[in-house]
Amino acid sequence: MTTQTAPPEAPAKQERRKLDENTLRNLGLVGVLVLLIVVGIITKPDLYSDPTWVKNNFLTILQQASAIGVVTVGMTFVIIGGGIDLSVGAIIALAGVWATTLATQSYGAGGMIFTALVVGIAVGLVNGVLISYGKLVPFIATLAMLVAARGLAAQISAKQTQVSANDFINSLASERLLGIPLLVWILFLVVAAGWVLLNRTTFGRRTVAVGGNPEAARLAGINVKRHTLLLYALSGLCCGIAAIMLTSQATSAQAAMANLYELDAIAAAIIGGTLLSGGRGTIVGALFGVLVFSTITNLFAINNLSTEVQNMVKGAIIVLAVLIQQFRYKSLTQLFKR
C-alpha cells in the first residue's frame, strides 16, 4: 500500500459555494421579518386592512430602529475588529446630556450636534487608548466606561431631564423628506456609509484583518494598535449621532437615556451574522438584526402585550440565532476538515 505523493491537486469537492454564507443568512433574516409581519396580519387583521396605517406603522418601525441601528453599525465594526463596546448606551447618555446643557444649547443646533459628536468620539478614544496602549481587555475597559460615563452624565445633568428647546434638533424626529422621517434618512446614510467603509475601503480591510488574525495583520505591517483605537472612536462617533437622534425623539435628554443599548446593539450584530470573536460580519445583516428587534417590539405594542413577554421572546431569538450560526459554522468546518 504505497501512497503516490502525487501533486496535491486541491480538493475539487468544495467548488459548490455559489450562494455565499452572508447572503443566505440575510435571506434568513428577511424570512424572519416576513414571518413577524404575517403574525401581525393574523393577530390584527383589521389594522392591516388599512393601507395608511400599514404605511405609517412601517415608518414607525423604521423610526424606532433608527438610533439603535446607528449604534449597531459602530458596534459591528468594533466586534469585527475583535473587540466589544459595552459603553455605547452610557456614551449616548453623556453625549445627549452634554449637548443639551443650557450652555451648549446657547450655541444653537450646530453647537449641540458638534458637542454630541465630539463627546462621543472623545469617549471612544479613551476606550481605544485604554485597550490598545493600556492593554486592558475590551470587556473590562468599556464596562468601566459604562459605569463612569453614566455617572458623569448624571453629574452634569444633576439627575434632571434636560429639555431641548432647539427647534431644528426637535424637528429631526417630526419632519419628513419625501415622505420618510429624517431620522430614518440618517439611519440609511449611516448604514450606507458603514457598508462602503467596511467593504470598499482600506479601513474596512484592516478591520477584518485585525479582527481575523491580529498577528498576521501586525506582521503584514498593519498598525494594529492604532486601528483598534480608531474602531472605538468610530463606535463613539456613532453614539454621538444616536444621542442627537434620541434627544430629538424625546425633545430632551437625561442620564438614564439609551439604557441597555449595548445589549440590543450586540444582540443585533450577532444575529446579523457578526462573529463575536471577530474577523467576520456584515453591516446589512446588522441592520436586519435591528429591524427584527424593532418589528417584534412593534408587534407586541399593537397587540397590547407586556414588555415582559417581549423580552423573553427577544432572548429566545438571540439564543436561536446563535445556535443556528454555530450549527452552520460546525458543518462548514467539518466540510473543510482535510
Partner 1 sequence: MTIPAPREDLKSDNDVPVPPDSTDGEGPGDVVLRLTDVVKTFPGVRALDGVQLEVRAGEVHCLLGQNGAGKSTLIKTLAGVHHADGGEITWLGEPFAPATPQAAMRAGIATIYQELDLVDDLSVAENAFLGHEDSRLGFTRRRSTAAKTREILSRLGHGEIPPRQAVRSLPAAGKQVVSMARALSHDARLIVMDEPSAVLAHDEVENLFRIIRELTAQGIAVIYISHRLEEIREIGDRVTVLKDGRTTAANLPARSTPTRDLVSRMTGRTIEYVFPPRRPAEQRDPLLVVDGLSRTGEFADASLTVAPGEIVGIAGLVGSGRSELLETIFGARRADSGTVTLDGKRITSVGSAVRKGMGMAPEERKSQALLLDEPVYKNMTLASFSTFAKAGFTDAGGERKAAERTAEALELRPRDVSRPIRTLSGGNQQKVVVGRWLLEDTKLLLLDEPTRGVDVGARAELYQVIHDLAERGVGVLLVSSEVPEVLGLADRVLVMREGRIIHEAPAGAIDEDAVLDMIMAGSLTTESILEGEPA
Residues that bind partner 1 (CB under 8 A): 1-3, 5-11, 14, 17, 200-205, 208-209, 212-213, 215-223, 279-280, 336, 338
Cβ closest to partner 1, residue 86 vs residue 237: 237
Between 89 and 285, whose beta carbon lies closer to partner 1? 285
Please state the closest distance from residue 337 (CB atom) to partner 1, in A: 10
Q: Which is nearer to partner 1, 51 or 221 (CB)?
A: 221
Identify which of residues 143 and 275 has a Cβ nearer to partner 1 in the complex: 275
Check: CB of residue 32 under 8 Å from CB of residue 295: no
What single string gives the DSSP state of each residue in 127-190? HHHHHHTS---HHHHHHHHHHHHHHHHHHHHTT--EE---HHHHHHHH-EETTEEHHHHHHHHH
Q: Which is nearer to partner 1, 7 or 45 (CB)?
A: 7
At closest approach, how far in Å is the CB of 276 from partner 1?
14
- CA distances to 18, 93, 133, 196, 239 from 228, rounded to whole Å, are 33, 23, 10, 19, 17
Q: How far is the CB of 286 from partner 1 (least distance, A)?
A: 18
SS3 label, residue 180: strand
Q: How far is the CB of 74 from partner 1 (least distance, A)?
A: 18
Residue whose C-alpha is closest to residue 270's, from 35, 72, 118, 136? 72
Phi and psi (nearest 5°) for 254?
A: -155, 165
Shortest CB 274 distance to partner 1, Å: 13
Under a CB-based contact definition with an 8 Å cutoff, are residues 91 and 149 in contact? yes
| Nearest CA-CA partner of 247 in 168, 191, 159, 149 | 168
Q: Between 48 and 203, name the residue whose CB sits nearer to partner 1.
A: 203
Task: Report, in Å, the least distance between residue 304 CB and partner 1.
Answer: 45
